[in-house]
Structure 1
Amino acid sequence: MDTAIRKMPIGIQSFEDIRRDNYVYVDKTEIVYRLATMGKPYFLSRPRRFGKSLLISTLEAYFLGKKDLFKGLAIEKLEQDWVTYPVLHLDLNAEKYDSPEALNKMLELHLNRWEDTYGKREGEATLSGRFANIIRQANQQTGRQVVVLIDEYDKPLLQALGKEELLDAYRSTLKAFYGVLKSADPFLKFVFLTGVTKFAQVSVFSDLNQLMDISMHPDYITACGITGEELAANFHPELERIAKENHLTEKEIVELMKRKYDGYHFNEQSVGIFNPFSVLNAFNSRRLDYFWFQTGTPTFLVELLKKSEYDLRKVIDGLETQASAFTEYRADANNPIPLIYQSGYLTIKEYDREFQLYKLEFPNEEVRYGFLSFIAPFYTSITDDDKGFYIGKFVQELRAGNVDAFLTRLRAFFADFPYELNARTERHYQVVFYLVFKLMGQFCDAEVRSARGRADAVVKTKDYIYVFEFKLDGSASEALEQIEHKGYLIPYTADGRQLVKVGVSFDAEERNIGEWEIRY
């Protein structure tokens, strides 16, 4: 074995395991110390697989006084006392919550374990009552205030989206359970909750009003994830190795990783943050694949998008909104943007300080193409098995200059829509065009119109530049005339590649491409 190959902590969420078993660790302990000494009740929202559980585990090790685990880290110079506190760590991440009993069982498991340590009061039957008693007992027995760490507090709620009866049951249980944290405040040293979303209706945010949401706080932006500086400082051997195996320079591999995995911004002044799961997997496999998207299927997002009939093109192209519109999620609201943002599929890219407007976009290529590829079967006739084939063939035909084959395939693609999709509106078909051309962007320079005064689509290959105009209930000739009249070709006349104008009619009655004309 090459001893230069270091161990990447992929899927390892225990701080103690990482430190004892000599895995690579990006030092976040200065932030841990700041959290522990600057406040008491916190909430942090971050996307899945972003390091929330490891942060919770690090806090647990700190409050348990495990000084030896922190040797050589930033906190070693900051903490002098290393006091041991009673810690109640509730992890809701691993369970499948498909019934009220499943949530109750998970809470019971934790309560039983804590009661084995701190005792049980006879006659206390409710989950919330037992939780309150455990906190008081732990405080009395140890003489120290209690630390409560709750990981993925919202996992049951996310799994119940769209199932109102189940969602109400989970909401009722969690409202009472989390509400204990307010009444037990005198017995508590520190409270920290993580999750993906900030559900407005759960009492942790309506009743527990002293909870400090640090999701956009500048002091805690880098608590999870990897910054560019941390990448360079902690992973030089891995960058060197992956660059060599991919026949690139180290600078080139960093730029490629930035395009694929960087780009998360959690407030308007945030540095770019890399997805840690993708970075670690890339170093481990020495391939720049789309790792984060392969680990979870955001079905709840697709169902929410379809149910709300939200214009998917706004998500694809980016949208402007105020902070209040994406930082809090109401399960009964007809607005999927907060959940899409908090789940990590959109992030902050720009900020208009005068009007306090945020521009939300896909953070990077991994999320963009992962999201588009996943969502395509829900909006089109493309299946999971053949989406790569379809998009690949579309690109190959345009690279070869075969526009007829491309449009014939596109026509067959629309004709193959299942019955339930054929009842869709005109906007649905516009979204499908968006998806096809945006997915082609993985392999060639493909643009779809997002503003007036531009062609419907422009595709650039090595030898050709195609300008497409689609006319609804108009002729292909009229579409070509519009390309000429509006000057859509002017930006490309000095390019040197062959310019191809493509006018296409779209038959609303047939819900498909009609005739087309091509002019070179």
Structure 2
Amino acid sequence: MYDLMRKLPIGIQTFEDIRRKNYLYVDKTALVWRMANMGKPYFLSRPRRFGKSLLLSTFESYFLGKKELFEGLAIEKMETEWKEYPVLHIDLNAEKYDKPEKLNEILSNHLTQWELKYGKGIDERTLSSRFGGVIRRACEQTGQQVVVLVDEYDKPLLQAINNLELLDDYRQTLKAFYGVLKSADRYLRFVFLTGVTKFSQVSVFSDLNQLNDISMKPPYATVCGITRQELVDTFTPELKNLSEANQLTFEETLQKMTATYDGYHFCEFAEGVFNPFSVLNSFDGCKFDSYWFQTGTPTFLVELLQKSEYDLRTLLSGIEVPVSSFAEYKMDVNNPIPLIYQSGYLTIKDYDREFQNYLLDFPNDEVRYGFMNFLVPFYTPMKNNDQGFYIGKFIQELRTGDYEAFLTRLEAFFAGIPYELNDQTERHYQVIFYLVFKLMGQFTEAEVRSSRGRADAVVKTPKYIYVFEFKLNGTAEEALKQIDEKGYLIPYKVDHREVVKIGVEFSAESRNLSRWLVEIK
């Protein structure tokens, strides 16, 4: 094991702290300079804990002219003037927004601090008039245009997403407040707003329609997150330490890091990035774990899925959609995809140039299995601490060829589903099967399909290949016949492993497996 004394900036979102206290830093300053000098009003949406706050803090240090913090970084060779500008930095992240006055209070608090420095007009009574007055006076008093940085602009909206009255109140407040940034344009040097979502049909930005939304533009795709090259260039000692701790080669560690934490694509033409929070924590803990997923349980997303009656099998297998259906969050209970994408649980995996459709899927194994594990208690009798036991037993039984024990355990599993969880529709049963087999894929080669072109599920172990077909109110004989007639076994004809066909009857009346037949090829 390497004796590492290098400091990892876990949870540190202040650029000045990182630089003065000698924390490791992935150099994004070339992009910072480009944005600062090629445009003025920007908007960026990225998932939580993806480096948005650190990015804004970097801009703040740059516009305050703190040249010494940028020594040795790319921007040092690009910037020649290092002017100091007045910076108004608004952070909406650290408040619980459960009442209308909460948003007013935090905005007013920011304004009061700035007014102590730049003064207040006697006729400025509303939040928007006070904001406009501060911007104008800051520019007039310093002789420099003003920089406005807004961190997590949408935090109040997200917290009020299930309270339409409160959501509308916040929308009206923020619409007026952010609208000032358009009327005050002549006093502004640079504006940058960040958040998790880009809201549509709620008009938050209707008075600020000149924003340059860089969320899906290729030149800015890697402004947050860590590229593979940055990972190797910045963290090779940490990668070697992780390799030794887990008894892997350096290349195996890179592959494991890629499968677990890479895969976020914010543009169809750009390279993917690693989740920075998970990367740093894996180095710190010397193991692979679900660090990002564990920091925030997406309960509101599950509630949205349940309200929408969205077919989870489609979501869990990757979904093809036009950009209009996921790039902006619309208040549409029947389409949860935009919020799931913008929250970081789905990402762009492919693009059909002819029809201009995007394939959205889980970015990596951390999110894939974290999301499915989180879903399980909402759809099945399994609690979080039961999942490892159930899935482990299922896999052990199939590995040893004990398919009877597997099916008996699956029968007991369905018997434990509370009635209120089960709407007795075929799709609900299929979703539960789907989740179980998908979770088995963490530990063995398991495929589960929702289409009719393939078997319902295929599980491959070192000695066996199991081909499952489930029939709701059909017979086990019909299930086996379908496996043969549809040619589900053809892909495995030349495989050395024993192929086991399993046809299962599922009774809607008993809400359980009622009978099964097995044939060995």
* TM-score under structure 1 length normalisation: 0.97
CA contact (8 A) 2:424 2:508 kept: no
How many angstroms apart in 1 are the aligned matches of 2:158 and 2:423?
30
Report the CA distance between 1:278 and its aligned residue.
Answer: 0.8
Report the CA distance between 1:334 and its aligned residue.
Answer: 2.3
The aligned amino acid for 2:219 is D
CA contact (8 A) 1:322 1:357 kept: yes
Equivalent residue, structure 1, for 2:57: 57
Report the CA distance between 1:388 and its aligned residue.
Answer: 2.2
The aligned amino acid for 1:262 is D
How many angstroms apart in 2 are the aligned matches of 1:422 and 1:428?
7
CA contact (8 A) 1:158 1:300 kept: no
Deviation string, structure 1 residues 256-286 (Cα, Å, up to 9, x no partner) = 1101111111111110211111111111111
The aligned amino acid for 1:122 is I
Query: What SS does the aligned partner of 2:260 have?
Result: helix
Deviation string, structure 1 residues 445-492 (Cα, Å, up to 9, x no partner) = 110124332111001112211111101111112212222232322222
CA contact (8 A) 2:319 2:359 kept: yes
Equivalent residue, structure 2, for 1:162: 162
Compare 174-183 and 397-406 and name the one that shifted more. Answer: 397-406
With over 3 angstroms needed to count, the CA separation of the structure-2 counterparts of 1:515 and 1:175, relative to structure 1, is same
With over 3 angstroms needed to count, the CA separation of the structure-2 counterparts of 1:505 and 1:174, relative to structure 1, is same
Query: What SS does the aligned partner of 1:273 have?
Result: coil
Equivalent residue, structure 1, for 2:5: 5
How many angstroms apart in 1 are the aligned matches of 2:489 and 2:243?
39
How many angstroms apart in 2 are the aligned matches of 1:4 and 1:299?
38
With over 3 angstroms needed to count, the CA separation of the structure-2 counterparts of 1:17 and 1:497, relative to structure 1, is same
CA contact (8 A) 2:424 2:511 kept: no
4+ residue segments displaced more than 6 Å: none
With over 3 angstroms needed to count, the CA separation of the structure-2 counterparts of 1:321 and 1:3, relative to structure 1, is same
How many angstroms apart in 2 are the aligned matches of 1:135 and 1:462?
68
Query: What SS does the aligned partner of 2:205 have?
Result: helix
Equivalent residue, structure 2, for 1:152: 152
How many angstroms apart in 2 are the aligned matches of 1:495 and 1:237?
42
Q: Percent identity?
A: 68
Report the CA distance between 1:166 and its aligned residue.
Answer: 1.5
The aligned amino acid for 2:452 is R
2:453 is aligned with 1:457: no
The aligned amino acid for 1:468 is F
Equivalent residue, structure 2, for 1:485: 485
Equivalent residue, structure 1, for 2:409: 409
With over 3 angstroms needed to count, the CA separation of the structure-2 counterparts of 1:402 and 1:3, relative to structure 1, is closer
Gaps of 5+ in 1: none
The aligned amino acid for 1:330 is K
Equivalent residue, structure 2, for 1:418: 418
Deviation string, structure 1 residues 323-380 (Cα, Å, up to 9, x no partner) = 1111011124521111111111111111111111111111111110011111111122
How many angstroms apart in 2 are the aligned matches of 1:410 and 1:125?
65
How many angstroms apart in 2 are the aligned matches of 1:279 and 1:77?
29
* TM-score under structure 2 length normalisation: 0.97
How many angstroms apart in 2 are the aligned matches of 1:333 and 1:206?
22
Equivalent residue, structure 2, for 1:19: 19
Report the CA distance between 1:141 and its aligned residue.
Answer: 1.2
CA contact (8 A) 1:197 1:328 kept: yes
Equivalent residue, structure 2, for 1:395: 395
How many angstroms apart in 2 are the aligned matches of 1:387 and 1:100?
40
Report the CA distance between 1:108 and its aligned residue.
Answer: 2.0
Equivalent residue, structure 1, for 2:92: 92
Report the CA distance between 1:433 and its aligned residue.
Answer: 1.0
CA contact (8 A) 1:381 1:413 kept: yes
Equivalent residue, structure 2, for 1:136: 136
Report the CA distance between 1:387 and its aligned residue.
Answer: 2.1
Matches within 5 A, 1:166-315: 166-315=166-315
Equivalent residue, structure 1, for 2:351: 351
CA contact (8 A) 2:4 2:238 kept: no
2:421 is aligned with 1:430: no
Query: What SS does the aligned partner of 1:43 have?
Result: strand
Compare 442-451 and 398-407 and name the one that shifted more. Answer: 398-407
Equivalent residue, structure 1, for 2:519: 519
Tell me how many residue pairs correspond in the alignment.
Answer: 520
Equivalent residue, structure 2, for 1:70: 70
CA contact (8 A) 2:153 2:195 kept: yes
With over 3 angstroms needed to count, the CA separation of the structure-2 counterparts of 1:67 and 1:311, relative to structure 1, is same
Report the CA distance between 1:14 and its aligned residue.
Answer: 0.4
Superposed CA RMSD in Å reads 1.5
Compare 92-101 and 146-155 and name the one that shifted more. Answer: 92-101
How many angstroms apart in 1 are the aligned matches of 2:5 and 2:452?
53
Equivalent residue, structure 2, for 1:336: 336
Report the CA distance between 1:101 and its aligned residue.
Answer: 2.0
